[in-house]
């Protein structure tokens, strides 16, 4: 009940904030929500599927490029949005099939996903010539693809969404994905996925196809990351090979570690908070923002390995138990 009320409050804020905030603040908050959607995708794959993917930026970048190429060729953003979800999801399914059905261990899986991300980064950097194009869309190499048309009303390219409406669409997408994943995790499929995370061998002995479940989780996470990449391309009307960068992959993992594995809301909260902090630190020259981010990561790994939200939940539970114990220990009036 509490998550539903929280989502209702979030939906209310998404609906009214564009009319309260100035344009710069609104655009900043918009990119925070886009990255929160990306953090949500890894929170699902790693936190519940137990799949440590270092290449979530690969799906993010594929979604951004798929949308850019699609909308530049079609003109209407309706089908390119679906393309931006389908391409990374299918790419994740192809990768996952060879990794999970090939018996690749978790450590090598992380190395493979990271290697694929770096390969995509180098490949896209090498497409700067005029011969590198898909239809009418020039890939641009390290210069990227500029002037990407933003979202329009479905099947009506003449009605382009304003920044206020785009913020509401992105916020709505984040809320819907969060609710959808919570519903999925509450289902029989989700319970099996968590059981596989806890003990894959035992789940397999009980008759569940662990490889298929992990493949579905990996593909869903890739599709959500692709949607985030699509929305990122809309936010800046630009995409470059930097979306496949190593720093991008590392940031996503940090968001999940800080927010807490095994939760969906924790990484969202950590992503928004850390992005706001990095933006504030970027306004000054005294303290290096990368150093601060590294210190935060070390603090959580060493002192709060479960992450922010689970640690707060444990602390709140202990306080509640102590208060309950102290209340029950107080003699009631008239008691002997």
Provide the phi-psi class of 147: left if phi over 0, else alpha when psi is between -120 and 50, else beta.
left
The mean pLDDT value for 237-263 works out to 91
pLDDT tens sequence across 100-138: 998 887 778 888 999 999 999 999 999 988 889 999 999
What pLDDT score does 336 carry? Answer: 37
Which residues have C-beta within 8 Å of that of residue 291, sequence separation ≥ 6?
none
C-beta separation of 68 from 77 below 8 A? no
Report whether 169 contacts 163 (CB < 8 A).
Answer: no
* Contact assessment for residue 56 and residue 218, using Cβ atoms and an 8 Å cutoff: no
For residue range 36-80, list pLDDT tens digits in order.
999 999 999 999 999 988 889 999 999 999 999 999 999 899 999
What percentage of the chain reaches a pLDDT higher than 70?
95
Which DSSP string corresponds to 32-73? HHHHHHHHHHHIIIIIIT----TTHHHHHHHHHHHHHHHHHH
If pLDDT is split at 50, 70 and 90, which confidence band does 88 have?
Answer: very high
pLDDT on residue 335: 42
Strands 133-134 and 137-138: antiparallel
Q: Which residues of 84-97 are buried (b: 16+ CB within 10 A; e: fewer)?
A: bbebbbebbbebbe
Give residue 193's pLDDT.
Answer: 96
- With bands split at pLDDT 50, 70 and 90, how would you rate the model's confidence at 2? low
What is the mean pLDDT of the segment spanning 174-197? 95
Residue 242 CB neighbours (<10 A): 15
In whole angstroms, give the CA distance from residue 103 to residue 109.
10
* Residues 198, 282: Cα–Cα separation, whole Å: 40
CB-hemisphere CA count at 13 Å for 17?
22
The pLDDT score that the predictor gives to residue 298 is: 86
Q: Give the contacts of 213 (CB within 8 A, at least 6 positions apart).
A: 189, 192, 193, 196
CA distance 51 to 122: 25
Average pLDDT, the chain: 89
pLDDT at 325 over 80: no
Q: Under 8 Å CB-to-CB from 160, ≥6 apart: which residues?
A: 149, 150, 151, 152
Q: Kindly compute the dihedral angle of the four CA atoms of residues 234, 238, 244, 246, in this order, to the nearest 10 degrees.
A: -110
Name the CA dihedral angle for 312, 314, 316, 318, rounded to a multiple of 10 degrees.
-150
Q: What is the pLDDT of residues 136-172, one digit of tens each?
A: 999 999 999 999 999 999 999 999 999 999 999 999 9
Of 58, 26, 25, 60, nearest to 40 by C-alpha is 60
Q: How far is residue 106's CA from residue 99's CA, in Å, rounded to a whole number?
A: 9
Query: Do 82 and 230 contact (CB within 8 A), yes or no?
Result: no
Cα–Cα distance for residue pair 238/7, rounded to 1 Å? 30
Indicate the pLDDT class of residue 217, thresholds 50, 70 and 90: very high
Return the closest-CA partner of residue 282 out of 268, 295, 292, 271.
Answer: 292
């Amino acid at each position: 009940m509490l998550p539903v009320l929280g989502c209702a409050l979030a939906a209310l804020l998404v609906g009214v904030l564009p009319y309260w905030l100035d344009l710069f603040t609104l655009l900043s908050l918009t990119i925070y929500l886009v990255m929160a959607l990306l953090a949500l995708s890894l929170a699902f794959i790693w936190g519940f599927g137990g799949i440590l993917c270092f290449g979530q930026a690969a799906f993010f970048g594929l979604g951004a490029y798929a949308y850019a190429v699609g909308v530049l060729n079609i003109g209407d953003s309706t089908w390119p949005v679906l393309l931006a979800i389908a391409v990374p999801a299918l790419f994740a399914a192809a990768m996952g099939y060879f990794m999970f059905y090939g018996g690749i261990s978790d450590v090598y899986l992380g190395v493979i996903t990271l290697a694929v991300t770096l390969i995509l980064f180098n490949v896209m950097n090498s497409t700067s010539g005029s011969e590198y194009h898909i239809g009418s869309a020039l890939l641009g190499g390290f210069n990227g693809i500029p002037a990407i048309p933003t979202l329009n009303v479905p099947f009506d390219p003449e009605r382009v969404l304003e920044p206020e409406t785009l913020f509401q669409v992105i916020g709505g997408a984040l809320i819907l994905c969060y609710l959808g994943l919570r519903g999925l995790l509450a289902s029989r499929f989700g319970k099996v996925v968590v059981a596989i995370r806890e003990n894959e061998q035992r789940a397999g002995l009980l008759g569940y196809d662990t490889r298929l479940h992990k493949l579905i989780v990996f593909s869903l996470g890739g599709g959500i990351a692709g949607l985030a990449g699509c929305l990122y391309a809309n936010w800046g009307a630009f995409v470059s090979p930097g979306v496949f960068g190593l720093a991008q992959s590392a940031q996503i993992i940090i968001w999940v570690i800080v927010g807490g594995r095994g939760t969906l809301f924790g990484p969202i909260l950590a992503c928004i908070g850390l992005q706001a902090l990095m933006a504030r630190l970027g306004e000054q020259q005294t303290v290096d923002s990368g150093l601060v981010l590294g210190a935060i990561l070390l603090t959580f790994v060493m002192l709060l390995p479960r992450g922010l939200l689970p640690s707060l939940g444990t602390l709140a539970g202990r306080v509640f138990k102590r208060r309950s114990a102290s209340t029950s220990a107080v003699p009631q009036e008239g008691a002997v």
